[in-house]
Amino acid sequence: MLSMTGFGLAKVKTRDSEVQVQVKSVNSRYLDVKIHMPREYTVWEKEVRDQLKLSLQRGTVEVYCSRKFNGKTSEVSLQTDEVLAKSWLKEYCKLSKQLGLKSDPKEIKLIEMLKSAPVLSVHEKKGASASEKQVFFKALGMALKSCVAERKREGAALKVVFNSLLSELSKEVLKIEKNRTKANIELQKRWKAKLSRLKDQKGIDPSRLAQEVSLLIEKSDINEEVVRLREHISNCKSLLKSKGRRGKKLEFYTQELLREINTVGSKSQIVELTNSVVNAKTIIEQIREQVQNIE
C-alpha cells in the first residue's frame, strides 16, 4: 500500500557543478504535478512528468531543482565594452572643461565609470548541455525513489491503522446485530399497542391493519443493512491484502459503509442500537480520513 505523502531529496555533484532535486507529495484525488526548476531545464518538463507518472498515480507532487557551480565553470560570463568606456571618459573630460572644472583622466576612479555607464555586462549561458541533462535526471531518479520509499513506509503504517479501525467497526456491527432482535420486539410491542387502540373503531378492518403493521415492521428490520455492512468490511480487508493502487476503491466502500450505517440509524428504535450507530459512524469517519491519503 502506498501513501500519498512522501519526500525525497538528492544531490549529484560533478567536477564543475552540483544539482539538487527535491520531490514532495501530498494527498490529492488525482495526479497534479508542479515543477520548479531553472529555465534552462524547462525544455525537459514533459520528460520529467512522464518519469513521475511511471511511479506515481495520485497526489499533488512538487519537484524543485537548483544548481550551482563550483567556480571552475560558471553559468554566466562578464563582457567589457571598451568602446563605451573610452567614449565615457572622453565626454567626462569634455564636460569638465566646459564647466571650468579641473579634471585629470588619471585621477578618475573606475567605480565612478561603472556607476554611470554599463561598461561591464553579465551574460547568462543559454541552454543546458547533454551532460547537465544526464546529471539532472540522475538526481531526479534518486529523489523520486526516496519519495516512493517514504510513501511505502507511510502506507504500511496506514495499513495497520486501517485494519485496527475495521476491527473496531466489526465489533460495533456485531453489537448492532445482537440488538436487532430486541429492536424488532420493541417495534412489535408499539404497533400491537396501537392495534389494540384502533381495533374497536368503526370502518377499520383489523386483519388489513394487522397486515400493514406486519409490512411496516418488516421494512424497519435492519438485517439487509447488517449483511451489507459485513460485506463492505470484508471487501475493505481484502483490498488491504491485495497489490496495486486501492485508494479509489476504498473510498467507494467507505461511502457505502456510511450510507448503510445511516440507514440503520434511521430505523433505530432503541437506545442501545442508536449508541452503536453513533460509535460506528465515528469509526467510519476516521476510516474516511485515512483513506484520503491512500494512493
CATH of the domain at 25: 3.30.230.10
Q: Are residues 205 and 246 in the same domain?
A: yes
pLDDT tens track for 135-177:
999 999 999 999 999 999 999 999 999 999 999 999 999 999 8
Question: Does pTM top 0.75 for this prediction?
Answer: no
Answer yes or no: do 120 and 225 share one domain.
no
The mean per-residue pLDDT over the stretch 176-184 comes to 82
Q: Based on the domain organization, do 189 and 80 belong to the same domain?
A: no
- Which residues span the domain enclosing 94? 76-124
Same structural domain, 144 and 178: no
Instruction: Find the helix packing angle between 45-55 and 130-198, rounded to 10°.
Output: 50
- Give the Å distances, CA to CA, from 117 to 24, 45, 85, 96: 45, 39, 8, 17
Strands (E) in 87-214, as ranges, are 120-124
Angle at which helix 271-291 crosses helix 130-198, to 10 degrees, equals 170
113: exposed, middle or buried (Cβ count in 10 Å: 0-12, 13-18, 19+): middle
Residue 33 sits in the same domain as residue 142:
yes
Instruction: Count other Cβ atoms within 10 Å, centred on residue 188.
Output: 14
Is 36 within the bounds of a domain?
Answer: yes
Per-residue pLDDT tens digits for 87-97: 877 887 888 77
- Residue 166 inside a domain? The answer is yes
Within a domain: residue 19?
yes
User: Same domain for 65 and 120?
Assistant: no
Asked if the structure places residue 213 within a domain, the reply is yes
Q: Which of 136, 151, 166 is the C-terminal boundary of a domain?
A: 151
- Do 89 and 165 fall into the same domain? no
Q: Is 258 exposed, middle or buried (0-12, 13-18, 19+ CB in 10 A)?
A: middle
How high is the pLDDT of residue 209?
Answer: 59
Query: What confidence tier does 243 reach under pLDDT thresholds 50, 70, 90?
Result: confident
User: 142 and 68 in one domain?
Assistant: yes
Together in a domain, 41 and 143? yes
Of the ranges 98-112, 133-147, 187-201, the best mean pLDDT one: 133-147
258 is a domain residue: yes
In this structure, the answer to whether residues 250 and 279 fall within a common structural domain is yes
Portion of the chain with pLDDT greater than 70, in percent = 83
Say what the pLDDT of residue 117 is: 75
Please compute the mean of the pLDDT values over residues 178-184 and round it to a whole number: 80
Is the pLDDT score of 255 beyond 70? yes
Nearest to 149 by CA among 1, 6, 249: 6
The C-alpha cell that represents 161 in the structure block: 491503522
Which of 216, 228, 226, 207 shows the shortest CA–CA distance to 273?
Answer: 226
For 226, the grid coordinates are 447488517
Convert the pLDDT of each residue in 185-194 to its tens digit: 777 777 666 6
262 falls within a domain? yes
- Residue the block writes with cell 456485531: 174
Domain boundary among 135, 151, 167: 151
Q: Of 172, 169, 294, 173, which is closest to residue 240 (Cα–Cα)?
A: 294
Please report the DSSP string for 244-274 in residue order: S--HHHHHHHHHHHHHHHHHHHHH--SHHHH
Residue 190 grid coordinates = 408499539
Residue 1 lies in a domain: no
Q: Identify whether 22 is part of a domain.
A: yes
Query: Domain check: are 11 and 145 in the same one?
Result: yes
CATH number at residue 174: 1.20.140
* Number of C-beta neighbours around residue 46 at 10 A: 9
Number of domains in the chain: 3
Whether residue 146 is found in the same domain as residue 192 = no
Q: Of all residues in the chain, what percent carry a pLDDT higher than 90?
A: 48
Closest residue by Cα to residue 225 from 189, 190, 276: 276
What are 221-236's pLDDT values in tens digits? 888 999 999 999 999 9
